[in-house]
Structure 1
Amino acid sequence: MSDLLERLRTGLPPEALITDPDVTASYAHDMASFCAAGTPAVVVLPRTVEQVQHVMRTATALRVPVVPQGARTGLSGAANATDGCVVLSLVKMDRILEISPVDRIAVVEPGVVNAVLSRAVNEHGLYYPPDPSSWETCTIGGNIGTASGGLCCVKYGVTAEYVLGLDVVLADGRLLTTGRRTAKGVAGYDLTRLFVGSEGSLGIVVKAVLALKPQPPQQLVLAAEFPSADAACDAVCRIMERGHTPSLLELMDRTTVRAVNALASMGLPETTEALLLCAFDTPDPASDLAAVGALCTAAGATEVVPADNPAESELLLQARRLALTALEAVKSATMIDDVCVPRSQLGAMLAGTAAIAEEYGLTIGVCAHAGDGNTHPTVCFDQADPDESRRARASFDAIMALGLELGGTITGEHGVGVLKKEWLARELGDTGVELQRSIKAAFDPLNLLNPGKLF
């Protein structure tokens, strides 16, 4: 420990090192339940690339593991510390280095908060689409590490589609530049995509070149009430089958709607079994919403209410953004699943989740990015009750098994971390895991970067 601190101090300012155990303990874990976290030896908050390189050279020399972190809003334990590690928090590297309206790119450091970037590019008439529910606090580096999504995925895609290039500090301290600033480029293997979603296990992202889009018109939102989740999922299938491209297509089940009302008195209809939110940011959103409203009615919607203006639309979106926070208030703890299935299997996924909730005697609310089949079943339980905690974990596993059975994946945007290591192996198979480990070994032969995560 003393040797580690002595070497780190030679290349870092005093304020970049945190050794107080009471403070370092607060950096030990992200927001996931049921994920073990160790005790870090030190927390480092670098401000420059050179400081990150110094940390990695020191870690390599002393064979000390390093756990990279952003805002710790993750939900899989990917940012959890291991015993004796250096926690490398990148939140102080928070500069927007460039915004180019001509090239339609932004160049940023990893600690830039998603919402800060979004507002900055808006001032140039540009748009950075990925918008996780935690966008007001989560960082771009964390978004890249987990390949995060958001509410707009159905039209605009996820983080991976916006990362053009990266500067990455490797495990031995070398600086690697991947990708490009250009609109096109196919020079060599796509190492940029390899780092996106790697959860800090291959290198430390210290700069990112991000693609931007022209800012679209303000969107209008429609809310449709359904007598069953199956009817709402039928409406989703009809909307996508007819070729519509909404900017948002989100679903909340009855449990989630009631939780949001209890938390924020939003006045959402508690008699509905499923609430579907659909938005368009097209030149004529009212016309598009009318067409979708007709499809919702044909699928069995009992009420279809289009917003009249952007303010009403934003209110509905706020209700959806509060969904996970509201479910967290139902009991003392939650486990938030992240199973993505083909859109055609969305109804089966929700029906199966409801059956699992009944089987295990638990409250499980579901909100979903319905347009891309990404569901977030949220298991609510009392962590002080050992039996209820056991049932919560068992139900979580049952939901992931259901997702794979329906041709889906165990994670659409939250990542694997500690929480889903066993399930990643089941999804990839032996050969897949072997190849993934080979890639890890090529970049990090000493297994110092975020060890114990993924596999």
Structure 2
Amino acid sequence: MQPTAASLADALPEGRVLTAEASFAGYLHDEGEWAIYGTPHAVVRPESAEEVAAVVRWCVETGTPLVPRGAGTGLSGGANAIEGCVIVSFERMNAVLEVNEAERWARVQPGVVNDDLRAHVARHGLWYPPDPASSPWSTIGGNVATNAGGMCCVKYGVTRDYVLELEVVTGTGEITRLGHRTAKGVAGYDLAGLIVGSEGTLAVVTEIVVRLRPLPPAPITVAGMFDSLVDAGRAVALVAESGISPSVLELVDHHCLKAVDDWKHMGLSTDANAVLIGRTDAPGEQGAFEAAELARCFEEAGASVAAVSADEQESEALYAARRLAYPALERLGPVLTEDVCVPKAKVPEVLARIEEIAAAHSVLIANIAHAGDGNLHPLIITTPGDDAAKARAHEAFTEIIDAALAAGGTVSGEHGVGTLKLDGLRKELSPVSLALHHAVKNALDPHGILNPGRAIPPLGIVILQAREPY
């Protein structure tokens, strides 16, 4: 059937469907640099699961691709428009529906912003731990789509660890609930866990029940200044060997610190080549012990300075600088963002390899990392309009993926595969594993309409129409 915008609008309440191309500008792509995108047929802003189901059924009937979208803060192209698709934006489904203090869970719509959920449950003395650097803007639905992590995840885990139950619309347009809200439950397959991280390719999430924790104590911050990235990586390995559980262990290099300070004038020291920001939120004597152990590991690895911060303002400035690193670097030029994860013992080796790759391709690579869990984010920065630099950046991007896989790592720790990591994932998955992925996809999305061409490499050749990457 030839799809028409009028027939889609007829299936939904008035005002839900945008069809004017001028209204598409804010929905075309996420923040994944150079990921391809096309022009959608329409953008739908639903207000209920029933409306989402109507859109899915319309897409099935017309053979139209459907792309779910949160805030568009992703970094892999997973929410980019496909030529002729329908974008489903969850901006109007943004309510915290319920908080259960006794059972410690919250029921939310997918358009709820991560930090807004945190602020809401804090009024109940509760805490939602997953905290991607984009938490002031990214949505819980988007976090679920990519199984987002963040700075606290070294101790507290990633999004999948906090998703108890999902309401979803299936690839055939039916509404169902997956998972359970009880403390235990092993009835049936873990379909909710399967949906988390599937980037909208298996079902459309319309409601999420997330696990909450009590608010943690105020943290103690330990800062380590290093002359080299490799020494900072050695400190990460030593912390892992020590057996302590820091609540944060983040790496920021001097490129990032300088970019943030030039932008925000925070008075940050940029003398060190790398800074490790460690935190412990353990109570009482245990917290003091863990802070001392962090400082010891930093010193043993060669830190020029390793100190427990007595200045709360200074420690918060360093923590804020880590969050601001990506947007600060974007001011310098297009940023191609990596997201590899390697065993913690391999962090020094892979950081050294990243430096070699930067030199070999004459590209600027700034480094931030959730170092405590081996999740590295090399940021490849190019000059706008420099096609030769862009080509070298892509070569560096590929070689970093190869280095991570050679170290026993994975091509994505938290940003998702989207379109940018499809070739890398093909290298990571065995043919048998890839076939299993496609069997699951075909079972849950039998018409192939849900975010096609994303998250898993094709078994054959798939050509997606697209305009030039932005």
TM-score tier (shorter): over 0.9
Shift of the alpha carbon at 1:264? Answer: 1.9
Distance 2:172 2:60 in 1: 6
Shift of the alpha carbon at 1:68? Answer: 0.5
Trace 1:144-183 onto structure 2 (pairs within 5 A).
Answer: 144-183=144-183
Alignment partner of 1:144: what SS?
helix
Note the alpha carbon deviations across 1:391-425, whole angstroms, 9 max, x for none.
11111111111111111000000000110111111
Distance 2:68 2:3 in 1: 21
What letter matches 1:347 in structure 2? Answer: P
Partner of 2:85: 85
Alignment partner of 2:223: what SS?
strand
What letter matches 2:435 in structure 1? Answer: E
Partner of 1:364: 365
Alignment partner of 2:4: what SS?
helix
- 8 Å CA contact retained: 2:256, 2:368: yes
Distance 1:434 1:291 in 2: 46
Quick check: 1:199 aligned with 2:199? yes
Partner of 2:214: 214
Note the alpha carbon deviations across 1:147-167, whole angstroms, 9 max, x for none.
000000110010010001101
Distance 1:450 1:291 in 2: 46
Alignment partner of 2:275: what SS?
strand
Distance 2:298 2:65 in 1: 52
Partner of 2:322: 320
Distance 2:2 2:442 in 1: 29
Shift of the alpha carbon at 1:22? Answer: 1.5
- 8 Å CA contact retained: 2:3, 2:64: no
Quick check: 1:188 aligned with 2:182? no
Note the alpha carbon deviations across 1:11-41, whole angstroms, 9 max, x for none.
3222211112012133111111121101101
Partner of 1:411: 412
Partner of 1:298: 300
Q: 1:289 aligns with which of 264, 288, 291?
A: 291
TM-score by length of 1: 0.97
Distance 1:444 1:57 in 2: 12
Shift of the alpha carbon at 1:310? Answer: 4.2
Bigger mean CA offset, 3-12 vs 407-416: 3-12
Shift of the alpha carbon at 1:353? Answer: 0.4
Partner of 1:60: 60
Distance 2:129 2:49 in 1: 27
What letter matches 1:138 in structure 2? Answer: S
Distance 1:329 1:383 in 2: 11
Distance 2:3 2:114 in 1: 37
* Structure 2: stretches of 5+ with no match in the other structure: 458-470
Note the alpha carbon deviations across 1:48-83, whole angstroms, 9 max, x for none.
111101111111111111000000000000001111
- 8 Å CA contact retained: 1:167, 1:208: yes
Distance 1:319 1:101 in 2: 33
Note the alpha carbon deviations across 1:338-362, whole angstroms, 9 max, x for none.
0100000000111000011101111
What letter matches 1:317 in structure 2? Answer: Y
Partner of 2:273: 273
Identity %: 43
Alignment partner of 2:430: what SS?
helix
Shift of the alpha carbon at 1:2? Answer: 8.3
Alignment partner of 1:166: what SS?
strand
What letter matches 2:296 in structure 1? Answer: A
- 8 Å CA contact retained: 1:220, 1:309: no
- 8 Å CA contact retained: 2:170, 2:444: yes
Distance 1:137 1:44 in 2: 20
Partner of 1:435: 436
Distance 2:410 2:293 in 1: 31
Distance 1:3 1:304 in 2: 63
Alignment partner of 2:172: what SS?
coil
Shift of the alpha carbon at 1:287? Answer: 4.1
Distance 1:54 1:191 in 2: 23
Distance 1:401 1:368 in 2: 18
Alignment partner of 2:399: what SS?
helix
- 8 Å CA contact retained: 1:219, 1:310: no
Distance 1:4 1:202 in 2: 25
Distance 2:264 2:175 in 1: 47
- 8 Å CA contact retained: 2:2, 2:62: no
Partner of 1:401: 402
Trace 1:221-232 onto structure 2 (pairs within 5 A).
Answer: 221-232=221-232
Alignment partner of 1:251: what SS?
strand
Shift of the alpha carbon at 1:3? Answer: 4.9
Distance 2:449 2:225 in 1: 50
Partner of 1:251: 251
Bigger mean CA offset, 286-295 vs 172-181: 286-295
- 8 Å CA contact retained: 1:25, 1:40: no
Partner of 1:242: 242
Note the alpha carbon deviations across 1:91-136, whole angstroms, 9 max, x for none.
2101111111100001111000000000111110111000000101
Bigger mean CA offset, 392-401 vs 285-294: 285-294
Shift of the alpha carbon at 1:256? Answer: 1.9
Trace 1:417-428 onto structure 2 (pairs within 5 A).
Answer: 417-428=418-429
Distance 2:221 2:331 in 1: 26
Partner of 2:460: none
- 8 Å CA contact retained: 1:53, 1:169: yes
